[in-house]
Structure 1
Amino acid sequence: SHCGALLYRCDQLLARLTPERTILTSDNNNNMLLLRTNLLAPLCRRALMTSAVQQKLPGVINPGYIKIREKYVQFQIDNGKLVHLRGGPFDNLLFAITVSVCGIGLCMCFKVYWDLAWPRKPQ
């Protein structure tokens, strides 16, 4: 009774409902099997992994996430600085280099326009 029914699943990559894809295959006894690819993908992904499965204990937070949370708080403080300059002196240095390179490029563009507008006379 379910021959004409379409099954839908939530595609996490596309964030929308998509019809389930199915594959027809046969087993050792030549019996036709209907496999759902969305059920096989996690199994195949796990089979290709080389690391051991880690069990997450409830209430235990990885120290890396705590560092990220501290950085997040630092960037949320309203101290009047631009967001891309709140990281410290290294961000200020990168900003200065970026502005310098953009300024040099703009000057070189104007030089090209000047040379094209008033070409030098051949001698």
Structure 2
Amino acid sequence: MYRHLMGLRQLSRRSISSSARRQIDNSVKEKQKLFQEDNGIPIHLKGGSKDALLYRATMTLTVFGSGYVVYELLSAAMPKKPQ
């Protein structure tokens, strides 16, 4: 039991260290400038072409999904006549 606790103690000491393996630039300030500037572009499109593509795909799926729901509701409301 003691051996397992000592192994856990060593593992926790190794995984939490003060040195960073990889330096990542903090880009929050640039993103804040981009999204807060008043240039007439809606906030959901200020991220660039990926945001525009995601917006168009979402709107397309929403329109087709709503149409399909209306179609299914109408077909359920008007049952087929028995032959």
Pair in the same fold by TM > 0.5: yes
Q: Which has the higher helix share?
A: 2
* TM superposition outliers: structure 1 runs of 4+ over 3 Å: none
Q: Aligned-residue CA RMSD in angstroms?
A: 2.3
1:115 to 35, 54, 75: 75
- Alpha-carbon distance in 2 for matches of 1:49, 1:118: 68
Cα deviation 1:8-30 (Å, max 9, x = unaligned):
xxxxxxxxxxxxxxxxxxxxxxx
Greater length-normalized contact order (CA 8 Å, ≥ 6 residues apart):
2
2:18 to 50, 53, 76: 53
In structure 2, the CA distance between the partners of 1:71 and 1:118, relative to structure 1 (3 Å rule), is same
Cα deviation 1:26-59 (Å, max 9, x = unaligned):
xxxxxxxxxxxxxxxxxx8xx45514214xxxxx
Structure 1: segments with no counterpart, 5+ residues: 1-43, 55-61
1:64 is aligned with what amino acid? D
Identity percentage of aligned residues? 30
- Alpha-carbon distance in 2 for matches of 1:49, 1:72: 36
TM-score, normalised to structure 1's length? Answer: 0.50
- Alpha-carbon distance in 2 for matches of 1:120, 1:73: 59
Question: What residue number does 1:64 align with?
Answer: 25
SS at match of 1:64: coil
Q: Which has the higher strand share?
A: 1
TM-score, normalised to structure 2's length? Answer: 0.70
